[in-house]
Structure 1
Amino acid sequence: MRAVVIEGAGGPEVLSVQEVRDPVAGDGEVLIDVVAAGLNRADVQQRRGLYPPPAGASTVPGLEVSGRIAEPGSSDFAQGEAVVALLAGGGYAERVAVPAGQVVCAPEGVDLTHAAGLPETAATVWSNLVLQAGLRRGERVLIHGASGGIGVMAIQVVLALGAVPHVTAGSPAKLAVARSLGVRTLIDYRRQDFVAEVLASTDGRGVDVILDVVGAKYLSRNLDALATGGRLVVIGLQGGSHAELDLGMLMGKRASVAGTTLRARPAEEKAAIMAAVEENVWPLVAAGAVKPFVDRTFPLAEVAEAHAYFDSGEHTGKVLLTLG
């Protein structure tokens, strides 16, 4: 089969499409004929040599796919059934083996190619905002990186749950994406102090939950923006991994800070998250409250071009690779 191979750490030029052996499903796994695969920042970090796959995972990049069941094994899926899957690796390929628990039926009413942009974002947002932070109706949420795949999904889920999103992004065009989804508090972090804007929009109270992809650079500022009893969830380290934290302020606000990853979690935890996504997010998709937000698609042969576009930071929503 055709799959993407990373030929050393570096830029998009280290990616190539080669013929490799087909995967073989192990116990409890299914084989999927891939229709499309989503690009994620973790793929870029793996390409750069900074984020190796977990032990036992495929070295082929790709953490989410849509496709059809090729071999159902002992699962309840039928051959040819349309599905999406959350992966530890292997998605940039014509076929992938996945633990059955990490596979769910594709949501109704969504093009199967575009559905590839849902599993990683939906699993990340639901597991962090709801399962980790315990987001409740009426609470206020600050979402950093609002125009990316995670950000766009987070905005839609927050609104669907009856909470209030506040967002940051780096340009008026990217903030326009959030505005089109119904966000009212829009902060250009290049021109505005996001803490001052958050406090002004909340009468000085701050937000209840922050979903952060920046990390160290924003740690102290995020704490300033949190309300009493607030919860900060760090899911990315684009701004570094080391920072000082004022524990006195943390304790005074009775706030909490959590850091999470998804890729390296045990299969059982991923299965539980995907079950929660199917139960809670897919009905929102079926109702039209949550939609895949796809910027561009590239054929697998243009994987280097797809990564170059992703690296440019110009994309809004998801970038996908198509198999065909």
Structure 2
Amino acid sequence: MTDPRKTMRAVVAVRPGGPEALAIEMRPIPVPGAGEIVIKVEAAGVNRPDVLQRMGLYAPPPGASDILGLEVAGVIVARGPGASRFPEGARVTALVPGGGYAEYCLAHESNALPLPAGLTAVDAAAIPETYFTVWTNVFDRGALKAGETLLVHGGTSGIGTTAIQLAKAFGATVIATVGSDEKAAACQRLGADVAVNYRAGDFVAKTLAATGGRGANVILDMVGGDYVARNYAAAATDGRIVQIAFLRGPEPKIDLRPLMQKRLVHTGSTLRPRSPAEKAVIAEALEAKVWPLLEAGRCKPVIDSVFPLADVAKAHARIDDGAHVGKIVLTV
């Protein structure tokens, strides 16, 4: 590594709280272990798990950095023993279990991917967390196929905007739920066939109407709570509901009869605690099946706003207020 410094700027939550709890500290520049690379960070994505970590509600997995940030884009400046997939100087984007809001970030080489041709570092930094999440949940666990219908909640979130584009690219019909007419229009511009303002209409009725009474084949849900029973009502026979968060609570009161009557599958997953080997399988699928779409311009990360690292509190205030459409990114 050519940088003579031993320390770097990094963002941590000095206490549980709001955006004001974030602070920039000087930390040692990471040293790569076996199979690891050090990335000089050009941009880092901001995600809802970062907010939960800031609030003290989502601790990093064992061994992960307490520095916030789950995705980065930049240049490889050092490689650990056995790390030979990329040369030093290669520009990559990577999914990391922590450490992204910093000048340098450690990543496992198998969880890094080449920067897609035609995309900037800001674009690329907005890819890993959402694209890994959508691929493993919608296409692996949910087994969405061409000709089926996907119902995605939070359509203008980073996850939602990604799910809309990928599902359409692979031939599915998409129904998205959002909290305003403006956000509904944004979803439709991204390709959603139907966008439901849940403050003004019932997404169950809208989903059934849009599918001729059949319901959605796959539902991607980060809401939980009372949405669980409503998802069961909106699902098609043999439908698959994939839970990735529970903003309205993890303990819903539900009637399980529709689960049996419709032969539903209700599954879920988390991404951050998975091993590098498990994430590598997702990375391989993305490089083979999604990277060509990105490079052809058939899908692209939706960037809401960009903030310098020094303004990380403003970036978190933006995600907290819920008005964003797409991803918020930090530049380093």
Fold shared per TM-score above 0.5: yes
Which string of whole-angstrom CA distances, capped at 9 and with x for unpartnered residues, describes residues 254-306 of structure 1? 11001111001111111111111111111110111110110110000000111
Asked whether the equivalents of residues 32 and 79 of structure 2 are also in contact (C-alpha less than 8 Å), the reply is no
Note if 1:254 corresponds to 2:263: yes
The equivalent residue for 1:263 is 272
**Distance (Å, rounded) in 2 between the aligned partners of 1:153 and 1:187:** 17
Counterpart CA distance in 2 for 1:34 and 1:290 is 24
Query: Structure 1 stretches (4+) deviating beyond 3 angstroms?
Result: none
> Paired residue for 1:277?
286
Alpha-carbon contact 2:150-2:175 (below 8 Å) kept: yes
* Contact kept? 2:53, 2:68, Cα under 8 Å: yes
Where do residues 79-228 of structure 1 align in structure 2 (5 Å cutoff)?
79-228=88-237
Q: What secondary structure, in the 3-state scheme, does the structure 2 residue paired with 1:20 have? A: strand
- Per the TM alignment, residue 247 of structure 1 is displaced from its structure 2 partner at its CA by 2.3
Q: What is the Cα deviation at residue 113 of structure 1?
A: 2.1
Match of 1:244 in 2: 253
**Equivalent pair of 1:30/1:75 in contact (CA under 8 Å):** no
Shift of 1:216: 2.0
Q: In the aligned structure 1, how far is the partner of 2:152 from the partner of 2:41? A: 31
Q: Which amino acid aligns with 1:94?
A: E
* Alignment pair present for 1:45 and 2:65: no
SS of match in other structure, 1:113: helix
- AA partner of residue 305 (structure 1): K
Counterpart Cα distance in 2 of 1:240 and 1:113: 32
Please report how far the alpha carbon of residue 27 of structure 1 lies from its aligned counterpart in structure 2 after TM superposition. 1.1
Q: Structure 1: 5+ residue runs without aligned partners?
A: none
Partners of 1:11 and 1:236 in 2: CA distance: 20
Counterpart selection for 2:29 from 18, 22, 36: 22
Measured in 2, the distance between the counterparts of 1:223 and 1:113 equals 38
- Whether the 8 Å contact between 1:198 and 1:225 is mirrored in structure 2 is yes
Distance 1:320 1:123 in 2: 17
- Alpha-carbon distance, 1:184 to partner: 2.4
Using the TM superposition, give the Cα deviation of residue 102 of structure 1 relative to its aligned residue in structure 2, in angstroms.
0.6
| Aligned-partner Cα distance in 2 for 1:252–1:216 | 21
What TM-score do you get using the length of structure 2 for normalisation?
0.96
Q: Which moved more, 1:42-51 or 1:126-135?
A: 126-135
**Partners in 1 of 2:213 and 2:177 — Cα distance?**
18
**Deviation at residue 100 of structure 1 after TM alignment:** 1.1
What is residue 56 of structure 1 aligned with on the other side?
Answer: 63
Normalised by the length of structure 1, the TM-score is: 0.98
Counterpart for residue 318 of structure 1: 327
Confirm or deny: 8 A CA contact 1:4 1:60 kept in the other structure.
Answer: yes
Q: Residue 29 of structure 2: SS of its match in structure 1?
A: coil
Between the aligned partners of 2:93 and 2:24, the Cα distance in structure 1 is 22
Query: Partners in 2 of 1:64 and 1:265 — Cα distance?
Result: 15
For the pair 1:66 / 2:73, whether they are aligned, the reply is: yes
Matched with 2:4 is: none
2:11 to 1, 4, 28: 4
Q: Distance in 2 between matches of 1:18 and 1:199?
A: 51
CA-based RMSD = 0.9
Q: Count residues in correspondence.
A: 323
TM-superposed CA distance for 1:182, in Å, is: 2.0
Cα drift, residue 62 of structure 1 = 0.3
Q: How big is the shift at 1:79? A: 1.0
Q: CA deviation digits over 1:71-130, x for unaligned, max 9?
A: 133222111111000011000000011111111111111112221001111101111111
Aligned 8 A contact 2:21 2:54 in 1: yes
